[in-house]
Structure 1
């Protein structure tokens, strides 16, 4: 087939984007006499392509934007329809022999109160309470003319809601006095029925909040992707009414596990402290070896307060002899480097933003807030985390592997930039792909590659990328990139190679966000304290070790898969839960709660969502 005919065939397949050449024509006598037919053909095609690109309508530049943050709209309260309980026909409480005689059924005596009782609750709560008492028309929290010890035990849990990161004000119930006027039996019955209903509403509200959180994360931003938990509240109310220890049963609706226990303990500890002895250092400090800075005295004081006993003992003579001089000499640099090493910071001896944060820390009030936000976020995860799992925490830039509930592996990671944020979601690991292809996301193609290709059409060819237009494989130099717009079906992928952006392997948990864990040729980024540099995926510091863990094999076997050089997907023996999470306060492998910078400013959005929820509930 002649060259011109072949080019026409490709042009038909992807018309409008790939330049279409015309039949061969000699340009002048010089071309005819001194140039070969092949050379004349190549030059003619180039001229024709240039002419067509100049005449073709220019496509409007495409910009693919990421998700956005929303103004949070809180769950609204509804009026509880107690009338469905008040009518015994609706509840099915009439026996074959007729209504029970007055005085025999206390709940039946109190029914008339329900016609005039008003209360507001979340829709799920209102429905569950009505359903429970329609099916079980009897008191749970009242006996005779008094409230029960079971009721008092449950109230104590509700009053302690702040201890688990909830708000006790959301579950406040007025408790009837033990003493009452016995001549006012009807009034007492009304009081007890109202208490019964309000306590059950509070209990159901607590169960709902403890199980799924007060906030719907998907309404905060498009970067959150969770299926909100939907506990069967009516069933839980019935189970609670029969529980030997209702207080313990109620508390059990909070997340279970060492991670939540650590947060509860840390919150209690923090509330007992104050900020009186906090040492501050100028926020704009940038102290390098050999410089002088009056802030050095505060730096020394902060290290002495924050450092371990071992470090202070090693530098005891320096601490004893330091007299407040501003010169940052070699001895002081060595101390700072040891401090940085102790906190897993870059050991460069430079006191900049990251080292300052480690020295100063955050205020106690800020820590309390971060722990409370962590407790809220923990409710979006499964109530009990799987014993075998991978947990990625974006603010700490770490990925951890757990086996049998125990921490077995941890490594540094690189996550998305603030412009290309990594999502917060749960999924399951299914595949490890060795020597992977990199399917370039559409956002990168249109936001980054197309503008470059309009200046340099052969860029993808030279870089070794594979290009398809409308599903057909083409050369990037044959595409009229000025005509590429929103309707263009462009696909780009990078074959396996030492330069591949995904490195040696990727670990897949298929999701709509095209996020996965992978290797990277850019190893130097792992040495940095702040590691938000990717387009949203998670780059692993030690991908071979993580692949070995999820495959249940050895690092040596992983190496052999890679050494083959061929693209090779391997299915994991059993799917493993992976949490791509975002916690600015979270326990480390020792169980100690650590605090991290809010890389994406998500704490402020969650605080606003909780405040919007508080306002709705306070207005009830």
Structure 2
């Protein structure tokens, strides 16, 4: 698998020293700091795939004067409109209008195909623009049927129609690929009418097969058009090549099924979807957004208590069974119920705080069947944005689960709690490659934090950074006192770089793990260890904090925790990762564990809802299609 992007270049210490001493003319200070000390190089991916569209948020005025750097936004998704396929080219030139495909071999039906083209004159077939173009290009160079042989649809067509009709099992919508199969030759209407029906069937099935292959490989929506937090390279698809392959193979089912992601996670989600669709709905459904503190009232409480009573074990039942039975119908969160909630929270691996919130409901009640189905369908769609082979070894960060894992040879060798970005500083969804580990790192302060959080204070107290363990450099890379800068003269674009020196108070803790990307996101340690004890851990500025950073560093470096500990004894240093290790900064509210059991998580950023809106927009465009 090929991963994208320019990778960070490690500069020799002498070069860095010269740059800082003599300056870098015309250099941007923040860009220089990000390359030398910061959280990744801001760059657009390069390689086989074109880069996703860039999103540059506009500065916004805020109270008190000045400007503010905004986070990426969410967009109103608009699906591309379908176009009517223009068959005029085929009708005007029955012989190939372009150099005929060198591999094209006319069949016994090729003459019938040329005769049948006249039946496309008033045919209204709508398709995506690239599919419409591919149809004309392919059949101009290969004027023959793929799906019709002799007097009717052939075996290829029958296999293709069956596969398209089974789209539900992949979380897709069969209506998107619906094709009306013409009657057999024995039907009435005459030879001309049958031929006209066959050529229309040919074009419709090819159009819908191409749509299916595209959806299976890349998904139904373009994720980069949903939000600036999504960053995925396009997956090129040679549509003419797809039709050529289908014209020459009898293994249509095998080919079409191979267009889907070929990884164990995708298969586990498909099995889960099939199981859910065959199962009965739980008769007790609790509002997943319930928030209830002691003394408050909610009609959802009796349902929650009924679910708890149903799953009581001997320990909790023995201690609280009588209380639970006596207050089973109470809509008031009585203080007597608090110890019960705390006990079941702790049993579920949560912090026993007695507050009933969405995570407590999800842990104690589970997710409704309808919600589970939607989460699985969303997860299947999102997996189609990723490489078919996820790779080994790999690091997988699942934001809604607040976990980061190191996986190698099908085994999860490390799983640690993680802290992700706050809802106002969300962590992006993308993939890249792990490149290096920095021990006792510097922290290059991002412009967004410098402008949004530090600048108001610096206007009042210019020497704050000098006293707090930070260094300031100008655009030439020269260190200057923070107190010498007129911070009040700048808004969203500050021509200075700021970094925090290695220390116990450093925001990155004792190490960081880099996979340079334009979002400046990486994994790192943190001095705020208490955050890992919380159940809801969307608490950072966007980077991923690890509870076990030494374990992850040892894993990606292919060494031991003792080795990492020894490196940390010797101050600031950097070590390159010599293997190819994919890293997925992912967002799945339904995800299988290594045994294949699917777990469900809260939609902390409400992204499932926005993806569903994009899917609905796509369905609305496709539904009128013939």
TM-score normalised to structure 2 length: 0.82
Choose which of 336, 346, 359 in structure 1 pairs with 2:351: 346
Instruction: Choose which of 210, 215, 222 in structure 2 pairs with 1:204.
Output: 210
1:555-613 Cα deviation digits (max 9, x unpaired):
11111111111x21111012311111111111123322122111111122111111111
Q: Which residue of 1 aligns with 2:607?
A: 602
After superposition, give the CA deviation of every residue in 1:153-195 in whole Å (9 maximum; x if it has no partner).
2111111112211111111100112364467011111111111
- Residue 501 (1) aligns with residue 501 (2): no
Q: Taking structure 1 as reference, are residues 316 and 449 closer, same or farther at Cα in structure 2, changes over 3 Å only?
A: closer
Alpha-carbon distance in 1 for matches of 2:504, 2:569: 12
- Matches of 1:445 and 1:465 in 2, distance apart? 12
Q: Separation in 1 of the partners of 2:240 and 2:581? A: 32
Asked whether the 8 Å contact 1:84–1:90 carries over to 2, the reply is: no
The SS at the match of 2:146 is coil
Aligned partner of 1:371 among 358, 376, 380: 376
Alignment correspondent of 1:192: 198
SS in 2 for 1:88: coil
Shift of 1:337: 4.6
Shift of 1:102: 10
Is residue 593 of structure 2 the alignment partner of residue 588 of structure 1?
yes
> After superposition, what is the alpha-carbon deviation per residue over 1:468-510, rounded to whole angstroms, capped at 9, x for unaligned?
2333311112222222334540210011111110011111111
In the alignment, the residues of structure 2 paired with residue 94 and residue 359 of structure 1 have an alpha-carbon distance, to the nearest angstrom, of 64
Equivalent residue number for residue 569 of structure 1: 574
Q: What residue in structure 2 maps to residue 123 of structure 1?
A: 129
Tell me the residue number matched to 2:292: 285
Query: Quick check: 2:436–2:576 contact (8 Å CA) kept in 1?
Result: yes
Q: Which protein has the larger Cα radius of gyration, Structure 1 or Structure 2?
A: 1
SS of the equivalent of 1:498 reads: coil
Q: CA 1:189–1:580 in 2, change beyond 3 Å: closer, same or farther?
A: same
Find the counterpart in structure 1 of residue 437 from structure 2.
432
Distance (Å, rounded) in 2 between the aligned partners of 1:530 and 1:170: 38
**Cα distance in 1, alignment partners of residues 594 and 107 from structure 2:** 63
Q: 1:543 aligns with which of 541, 549, 552?
A: 549
Report 1:208-219 matches (<5 A). Answer: 208-219=214-225
Q: Which runs of 5+ in 1 are unaligned?
A: 1-12, 14-58
SS in 1 for 2:434: strand
Query: Which residue of the partner structure matches residue 164 of structure 1?
Result: 170
The C-alpha deviation readout for 1:418-470, integer Å capped at 9, x for no partner, is 11111111111111111111000000001111101122222111111001233
Offset from partner CA, 1:231-283 (integer Å, 9 cap, x none): 21221222233334211211221112111112112222222234352153792
Distance 1:370 1:116 in 2: 42
TM-score scaled by length of structure 1: 0.83
Cα separation, partners in 2 of 1:542 and 1:239, compared to 1, 3 Å: same
Distance 1:596 1:104 in 2: 55
Once the two structures are superposed, the pairs formed by residues 163-562 of structure 1 within 5 Å of their partners are: 163-178=169-184, 180-181=186-187, 184-280=190-286, 283-287=290-294, 298-305=303-310, 307=311, 312-317=313-318, 321=322, 322-325=324-327, 336-471=341-476, 472-562=478-568
Residue of structure 2 in register with 1:615 after alignment: 620
Q: Number of aligned residue pairs: give it.
A: 555
Q: How many Å separate the matches in 2 of 1:604 and 1:92?
A: 46
- Looking at both structures, which has the greater relative contact order when contacts are Cα pairs under 8 Å and sequence separation is at least 6? 2
Cα distance, 1:442–1:362 mapped onto 2, change above 3 Å = same
Superimposed CA distance per residue, residues 279-304 of structure 1 (whole angstroms, 9 cap, x where no aligned partner): 5379232249xx99997754442224
Query: Displacement, 1:521?
Result: 0.5
Name the stretch that deviates more: 519-528 or 100-109.
100-109
Rounded to whole Å, the distance in 2 between the matches of 1:295 and 1:182 is: 62
| 1:551–1:572 contact (8 Å) kept in structure 2 | yes
SS at match of 2:183: coil
Task: Report what 2:59 is aligned to.
Answer: none
- Measured at CA, do residues 487 and 508 of structure 1 come closer, stay the same or move farther in structure 2, by a change above 3 Å? closer
Distance change (3 Å), C-alpha of 1:444 and 1:337? same
Using a 3 Å threshold, how does the CA distance of structure 1 residues 293 and 602 change in structure 2: closer, same or farther?
closer
Matches within 5 A, 1:79-94: 79-86=84-91, 87-91=93-97
Q: Is residue 215–residue 613 contact of structure 1 (8 Å, CA) maintained in 2?
A: yes
C-alpha deviation, 1:141, in angstroms? 1.3
The 2-side partners of 1:398 and 1:103 are apart by 58
